[in-house]
Amino acid sequence: MSFKKEFAWGAATASFQIEGAITEDGKGLSVWDVLSHKKGFVEDNHTGDVACDHYHRFKEDVQLMKQMGLKAYRFSVSWPRVLPNGIGKVNEKGLGFYDQLVDELLANGIEPYVTLFHWDFPNELFLRGDFLNPDSSDWFAEYTKVVVERLSDRVTNWMTLNEPQCYAILGHEVGQHAPGLSMAQPYVLQVIHNMLLAHGKAVQVIRKYAKKKPVIGYAPVFGYIAPRTDSKEDICLAKEAMFRCTEEAGFGFSEPWWNTPIYKGHYPEDGLKLWGQWLPKIGQDDMKTICQPLDFFGFNFYRSAVTAGYQDGKPDLGVVHKVGHPQTAFDWEVTPEGFYHVVKALYERYELPLCITENGLANQDWVSLDGKVHDPQRIDFLHRYLKSLKKAASEGVDVMGYMHWSLMDNFEWASGYNKRFGLIYVDYETQNRILKDSAYWYKTVIETNGECL
């Protein structure tokens, strides 16, 4: 048994990482536009000013998608490109860009999957408090309504937030990402709560204003834990560990801290025991607003950083992988076996169709003497992960789609242009694009609907 006939084989990008044109046609600044210009904030002082120049080259990029045989393309909308001040006056040229992109995708047989927020928060709203502001979820709802009213006659698939865990923690507690803050726990928990409210209100807006019946989810990332062996005991222990709030993972990357409010309508009891004293004031209807019915469970998966198993009959948690374990150029562990177990566990827990919203490999790719880009590690990585996904699907897990990260090499946040995730090689000096070997390999996978795996 392979993947179902209507399986969405796709690739993903984020607006700030590829679009460039940071002030063109009336676009407002985002927190990433500002912070990437702070000396030393990004490796080698790279900025997203031009990135992959997708804003001007989207038609060329869609043709490359078609050449690869993609069935789906997941992209994010830049909030300040559509609403330069974050709220208020709409920038018609900016909104028109996404109008044209959707039309171009559909004309070439590619289904658009729209993500509303992938970290490029409007700078004008940051100056008013960012997600600390009690009005922030209403700001996001207003923005969502603008996008939905324009695109929903053609767009069916929607995601509210991409990895809000990273925006909240890396951006507000660690300070490694924009907006570059290092705040105390009570403030970060307020940011999280308001992001959860923003998600819930966005779902309500999509349901109310969508012109086509929408399919809605979001795209989180967590601290995934793999069983050390395939024994029933180790698998159960790994699941218990992943679905538990812990000080080690923190409220930012403990899976239940986000998903229990979104899917169950309350904060998890074990999390409240750890962090309840810092919890912000919760409005009477907040949890009801946050807990909106979703159509699929989306998640980004790159690694299972630690393992769980029994040692001498005792639970042994949080053990790192063996010395010499395969790693990517980001020093992330290659764990396709963990991917299989996580897919199974999430489907069992949430009983919703799964969408792999991101999965991919950071690699050191370059153009070879023959003018091609040979990336055998990416092919091997994808083969292993897709085989794991296929195995889970064959065992009854309802998987609706797989979005490879990324369509093309791009601005990799604090790492600048020094890490390459793409199926398409980008020469940042000339903006020349080259399909890598992995793009052709992925095309075969798509054409056979995974039968070649």
Residue 37 assigned as binding residue: no
Catalytic residue among 19, 104, 337, 358: 358
DSSP conformation class of 172: I
**For residue 406, cis peptide bond before it (omega within 30 degrees of 0):** yes
SS3 320: strand
User: Coil, helix or strand for 401?
Assistant: strand
Centre a 10 Å sphere on the Cβ of residue 1 and count the other Cβ atoms it contains: 9
99 contacts 154 by C-beta, under 8 angstroms:
no
Q: Residue 359 belongs to what H/E stretch?
A: strand 354-359
Distance CA 132, CA 374 (A): 46
Q: CA-to-CA distance for 351 and 297, rounded, in angstroms?
A: 9
Nearest-5° Cα angle at 382, 381 to 384 = 70
162 belongs to an annotated ligand binding site: yes
One DSSP character per residue, 88-156 reads SS--HHHHHHHHHHHHHHHHTT-EEEEEEESS--BHHHHTTTGGGSTTHHHHHHHHHHHHHHHHTTT--
405 is an annotated ligand-binding site residue:
yes
Flag whether 413 is marked binding.
yes
Instruction: For residue 358, indicate whether it is catalytic.
Output: yes
Please tell me the distance from the alpha carbon of residue 13 to that of residue 357, in angstroms, as a whole number.
10
Burial class (CB in 10 A: 0-12, 13-18, 19+), 442: buried
Q: How many residues does the chain have?
A: 453
Catalytic annotation, pick one of 104, 163, 255, 337:
163
CB neighbours of residue 108 within 10 Å: 15
Is 257 known as a binding-site position?
A: no
Nearest to 355 by CA among 5, 99, 10: 10
| 390 contact partners, CB below 8 Å, separation of at least 6 | 2, 3, 450, 453
Which parts are annotated binding residues? 17, 118, 162, 302, 405, 412-413
Binding site for substrate: residue ranges?
17, 118, 162, 302, 405, 412-413
As annotated, the active-site residues are 163, 358
